[in-house]
Amino acid sequence: MAYNVNATWDKQARRISGSYLLDMYILNASRTGENYMYYVNAPQDVYGFKLDANGDLTALSQVYTGLPVKRGDISSNTNAEISGVDISIPNVDRSIEGIIQGNRYLRGCEVFVVTAFAQHLPSGSSATYVGSAADYNAVLKDLFYIDSVNSDENAVTFNCRSKFDINSIVLPARTFSRECAWAMDIGDGYLGSQCDPSSTISATTFPTCDGTLKQCEERNNKSRYGGFPSIPRSFILVS
């Protein structure tokens, strides 16, 4: 996967010795706002950078809880496959279990995967500060969305995907399918403001609609069609 990195990262990456990498994870337990939970794959808590409301890292310091977090490789290929990753967080004290059960298993929530050199994390006097030359731009950051969750007494594993690869979840707009969204009662539905804003369709002649393009053509309303006929019938794409 290609990244745009700044000069600080590039210089550090070329060194054959020195600073080490840390994998950091930020889970947003809210679909509509910010309820960030910060974790780092480390034997102790570590100060990293805080996210703002837009999901961007800032210069503000934030404690990341140190846990033995495990994840798969993040990769891409030339086969048009969308990358994904599995992230496992220990569940020994059941704290993560309580969070997911109270929030619909966090399906559709954001997960940020941040890779940073320890040297460029925030600096300070306590042991939780491991940086010496802070630079919140000198990181690699990936954004995924939770598609499914598996949990047992040992760990909670989040199966994370790009938002375009999560079936039947509205993130953040609406589900894209072959059938017209307005006929599926999205918004104010058939004959509503999205379907027929000028009220040109006769509700007496056409009381219902099955959501196909042909139905729109019969009503001379093709320009307002809310579906995507080119999408294969066996898939639903989400945006």
Predicted local distance difference test score (pLDDT) of residue 161: 83
Q: How far is CA 237 from the centre of its chain?
A: 15
**Read out DSSP for 69-110?**
-EE------SS-PPPEEEEEEE-TTSHHHHHHHTTGGGTT-E
Strands (DSSP E) found in the chain: 21-28, 36-41, 46-51, 57-67, 70-71, 84-90, 110-117, 139-151, 155-161, 175-176, 237-238
Q: Are 1 and 83 in contact (CB under 8 A)?
A: yes
Alpha carbons 169 and 12: distance in angstroms, whole number: 39
Instruction: Say whether the peptide bond before residue 68 is cis (omega within 30 degrees of 0).
Output: no
pLDDT in tens, the chain (239 residues): 556 666 776 666 666 556 789 999 999 988 888 999 999 999 999 999 999 999 999 999 999 999 999 988 776 554 545 567 899 998 877 778 778 877 778 888 899 999 999 999 999 999 999 999 999 998 988 889 988 888 888 888 998 887 655 544 444 445 567 778 787 665 678 888 889 988 999 999 999 898 888 899 999 998 888 887 776 654 444 44
